[in-house]
């Protein structure tokens, strides 16, 4: 990253090649829609390019990237919410979004597993368990405290345990209960 800051665009290419798959997984896990994830990834790299001068080489680079990615995702959500509200006001019709189908593979399994979690909980689990970030790195990337990250992770684990227990119970006792 320090080389990229100094104008070495080969270093930028290396960063993009190494980090794009991780950032893309982050966006897919958050939105569940690959097209949105592609757009968010592109926007993230544009924003990183614009603010690369703000990176401090003494800090870990991964939380810095995730903080930018998170802000891009939030900005996208806010913009799409405003756009949707305007479209509904113009059309005077409320619509319920149909669930996205046709996605396949491991990313969809992760997204389905994390679906019942709140956005913050999903984000923390993605960073800690999928990306392997430390509590400190996840806290830095989400602009929160380590305690807040721990709390979100604890709540997420509890919800996931409850969901998995309920699923196992239904599979094991499919016949005899009213």
* pLDDT, mean of residues 157-178: 68
| CATH code for the domain of 109 | 1.20.140.160
Q: Is residue 133 included in any domain, yes or no?
A: yes
* pLDDT, mean of residues 129-143: 86
104 pLDDT above the threshold of 80:
no
> What does pLDDT average to over the chain?
79
pLDDT for position 85: 58
pLDDT level of residue 41 (50, 70, 90 thresholds): very high
* pLDDT, mean of residues 21-36: 83
* pLDDT, mean of residues 37-59: 91
Q: Is residue 53 included in any domain, yes or no?
A: yes
Residue-wise burial string across 13-45, b where 16 or more C-beta atoms lie within 10 A, e elsewhere:
eebeeebeebbbbbbbbbbbebebbeebbebbb
How many domains is the chain built from? 1
pLDDT for position 115: 80
139 pLDDT above the threshold of 70:
yes
145 pLDDT above the threshold of 60:
yes
105 pLDDT above the threshold of 70:
no
DSSP string, 11-41: HHHHHHHHHHHHHHHHHHHHH--HHHHHHHH
* pLDDT, mean of residues 91-108: 47
* pLDDT, mean of residues 13-33: 87
Q: Is residue 177 included in any domain, yes or no?
A: no
Higher pLDDT among residues 33 and 23, named by residue: 23
Over residues 76-93, the pLDDT tens digits come to: 877 766 666 555 555 543
Query: Which range marks the domain in which residue 85 is found?
Result: 2-95+103-172
pLDDT for position 130: 80
Q: Is residue 168 included in any domain, yes or no?
A: yes
Cα-Cα-Cα-Cα torsion 66, 70, 71, 75, nearest 10 degrees, comes to 150
* pLDDT, mean of residues 48-53: 90
Percentage of the chain modeled with pLDDT above 70: 76
Q: Is residue 178 included in any domain, yes or no?
A: no
Higher pLDDT among residues 43 and 132, named by residue: 43
In order of 82, 101, 161, the CA distances from 164 in angstroms are: 36, 22, 5
The pair of structure tokens assigned to 53 is 């001068």
């Amino acid at each position: 990253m320090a080389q990229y800051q100094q104008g070495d665009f080969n270093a930028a290419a290396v960063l993009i090649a190494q980090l794009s798959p991780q950032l893309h997984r982050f966006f897919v896990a958050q939105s569940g829609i690959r097209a949105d994830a592609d757009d968010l990834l592109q926007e993230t790299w544009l924003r990183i390019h614009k603010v690369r001068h703000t990176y401090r080489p003494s800090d870990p680079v991964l939380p810095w990237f995730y903080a930018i990615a998170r802000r891009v995702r939030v900005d996208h959500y806010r913009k799409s919410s405003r756009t949707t509200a305007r479209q509904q006001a113009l059309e005077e019709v409320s619509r319920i979004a149909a669930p996205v189908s046709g996605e396949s593979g491991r990313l969809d399994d992760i997204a389905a597993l994390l679906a019942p979690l709140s956005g913050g909980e999903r984000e923390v689990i993605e960073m800690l368990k999928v990306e392997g970030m430390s509590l400190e790195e996840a806290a830095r990337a989400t602009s929160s405290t380590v305690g807040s990250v721990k709390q979100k992770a604890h709540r997420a684990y509890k919800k996931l345990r409850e969901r998995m227990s309920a699923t196992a119970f239904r599979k094991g006792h499919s016949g005899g209960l009213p």
